[in-house]
Structure 1
Amino acid sequence: MKTFILLSVLCHFAFPVKHSLKYILTSSYGVRGVPQFVAVAVVDEVPMAHCDSDRLIPQAKTDWMERFFKERIERLQWYTNRCTNNEYDFKDTINSLMSRFNQTGGIHIFQRMNGCEWDDETGNTNGFNQYGYDGEDFLTFDQTTLTWITPKPQAVIIKHEWDRNIDKIMFWKNALNYKCIQCLKEYVEYAKTSLQRTDLPSVSLLQKTPSSPVSCHATGFYPDSALMFWRKDGEELHEDVDHGEILLNHDGSFQMSVDLELSSVTPEDWRRYDCVFQLSGVKNDIVTKLDKAEIRTNWAEKSSGMAVTITAAVTVPVLILYFTV
């Protein structure tokens, strides 16, 4: 592929150096083939450990977390106890919610996402705690007023109950603003070489059919503080451009793509376009020129000029649990 590194002559973009620790807990009812309870700990958007109702002893998801558990047995025991206790608490809660909603069957999902963020440049911190039920926001902890907020009428009674529970409120205030921050800083320091590394991606031009948009796809980069966009004659494009989300790869790296609609672009104008990838902490941009010869497709041209579609059928069973934030 014809790619090259271009040293930016203008002010390069910068992301704040922000770290995060999240705990995502999910309890399900009526879902077959998966554990009824799953908990995942995530640092800087990368899963570091998880447990479930089939395996209550937490399993490390990264090499550094595996070393951490071996060196700090008391932390592994703490996670094991939390996993066990939360499994029973979440099971009781989802049964209680089904009763409040007059639900006697079907599929139901109860989730909690709590954690904290820390900017290691400014020192600013922020904690959060949110609950969701069947894919919708249910209860959120407001640290300013030290009360619970809910958009669901069925949760108002629970809100008032929790608002009166001063011990529970003080527990979450302390957990989110102090204990979580301490753990996050400890993890960041312990995994410094892993979490603070920078990996550049492989960038490709992809197209499904001759009439489809051309996708500029970057994969294998780390961290997830990245930008990618199309340019024409050196100016960033906003029209006919579709930005995709940054997604996590199985190895802990990330991928993203940005599509460009070329239906109104003449062949001779293609050379005026390029795709730019920028990664936080890296001064050089990766620039990929729009070149038809370098586009990877799932179709091929016959000598007669007719396009032959190449298809492949892949069946993958996937369970997606949604939690709105």
Structure 2
Amino acid sequence: MRAVVLLLLEVNLACAGTHSLKYFFTAVSGDIDFPEFTIVGLVDEEQFIYFDSNMKKVVPKTEWMKQKEGADYWDTQSQLAAGTHQVFRNNIQVAKEKFNHSTGVHTFQLTYGCEWDDQTGATDGFRQEGYDGEDFMSLDLKEMRWISPVQQGFSTQNKWNNNRAYLEGRKHYFSTECIEWLQKYVEYRKSSLEKTVSPQVSLLQKSSSSSVSCHATGFYPSGVTISWMRNGQEHHTDVDLSETLPNEDRTFQKTSTITVTPDELKKNQYSCVVKHQGETIRKIQTEKEIRTNRGERKYLFGFETLVFATSGILSMHNQLVTLQRERKT
């Protein structure tokens, strides 16, 4: 991995049996208009906590964390995060001195975490640090040693490798403490993962002469099939099936679009069939069932919200890239 990049653009569910806990810390120095320090935590690739130096508190990003942890937990985590913010302020200054940087925008990033296979019991961990988008230091847990790919990190590498107590502490954290926290959070998350939510299905059309979309949204888990029937027979001609997309609330949406002429629609009966977790929903393509412009706009909201949210992250990243390019020119 060439860099620790804090771009979390989608929600993915972990493979059966394998679970992960990951944290991303990012400190930024220079003339910026966004938080100089952020923390993002993920369980099975789902963001569950967030902290930044502007809001000065750790907040839950999932309903299961809101329900399972009380005020004491969030107060403690916020105090720890505030202390870590000060540590990273120092870290980025030390890194700037090592690289002989005195002006411009610079970043210091840390990612670490652990994995646990609930079938085999196998565990693993990782820790990597980066400066200005390049690897600076990593921990090899198998060899129990720190490794730096750049000369500026050699002195820190040697210092940490000679500190056996520090190495043993890291080994204990990744093999025991991190796994215990992961197992705790997985148990918290279990109830929400096991729930089944049925899709809401709508037929959408911009105008009487345009294609018709069968849109299923709000369903969980993500496995769903959408097919078209013509006079009771499966129909595959002029059908376009989209990818399954995540909604903000961790449910999913999927669309299948069919192109038929108004004349064909009058002469034949077309219907959309959605199957999810043993449930079958059928929508017959009639004037009563089809929603036009105003209804179509409504179903797009979940996707548009996702796009706007990720655009904000991309905008922040692009600002960093632009400022760093300006520094180098």
The TM-score by the shorter chain falls in which range? 0.5 to 0.7
What stretches of structure 1 of length at least 5 have no aligned partner?
A: 1-13, 207-214, 235-240, 261-266, 268-273, 299-311
- Aligned amino acid, residue 253 of structure 1: R
Give the drift of 1:144.
0.5
Indicate the SS of the match to 2:56. coil
Identity of aligned residues (%): 34
- Which of 1 and 2 has higher RCO (CA within 8 Å, sep 6+)? 1
Structure 2 vs 1, CA of residues 104 and 70 (structure 1 numbering), >3 Å: closer, same or farther? Answer: same
Alpha-carbon RMSD across the aligned residues, in angstroms, is: 5.1
The whole-number CA distance in structure 1 between the counterparts of 2:151 and 2:216 is 44
Structure 2 residue 121 is the aligned partner of structure 1 residue 123:
yes
2:10 — aligned with what? none
- Aligned amino acid, residue 139 of structure 2: F
> Conserved in 1, the CA contact under 8 Å of 2:219 and 2:253?
no
> Conserved in 2, the CA contact under 8 Å of 1:118 and 1:125?
yes
The whole-number CA distance in structure 2 between the counterparts of 1:204 and 1:155 is 59
The whole-number CA distance in structure 1 between the counterparts of 2:128 and 2:199 is 33
Give the drift of 1:200.
5.8
Indicate the SS of the match to 1:318. helix
> Conserved in 2, the CA contact under 8 Å of 1:48 and 1:61?
yes
The structure in which a higher percent of residues are helix is: 2
- Aligned amino acid, residue 30 of structure 1: G
> Conserved in 1, the CA contact under 8 Å of 2:216 and 2:255?
no
Structure 2 vs 1, CA of residues 17 and 87 (structure 1 numbering), >3 Å: closer, same or farther? Answer: same
Structure 2 residue 315 is the aligned partner of structure 1 residue 318:
no
Give the drift of 1:253.
0.9
The whole-number CA distance in structure 2 between the counterparts of 1:17 and 1:63 is 23
Matched ranges for 1:180-259 at <5 A = 180-199=178-197, 220=218, 222=220, 249=248, 252-253=249-250
1:114 to 112, 116, 123: 112
> Conserved in 2, the CA contact under 8 Å of 1:25 and 1:40?
yes
Q: Name the larger-Rg structure.
A: 2
Give the drift of 1:91.
1.0
> Conserved in 1, the CA contact under 8 Å of 2:242 and 2:256?
yes
> Conserved in 2, the CA contact under 8 Å of 1:228 and 1:258?
no
Aligned length: 281
1:49 — aligned with what? 49
Structure 2 vs 1, CA of residues 184 and 95 (structure 1 numbering), >3 Å: closer, same or farther? Answer: same
Question: How big is each residue's C-alpha offset from its partner over 1:137-190, in whole Å with a ceiling of 9 and x where there is no partner?
Answer: 33222110011234x424441552322232222222111111111111122223
The whole-number CA distance in structure 1 between the counterparts of 2:52 and 2:26 is 9
> Conserved in 1, the CA contact under 8 Å of 2:147 and 2:157?
no
What stretches of structure 2 of length at least 5 have no aligned partner?
A: 1-13, 205-212, 228-233, 235-240, 262-271, 286-290, 294-303, 318-329
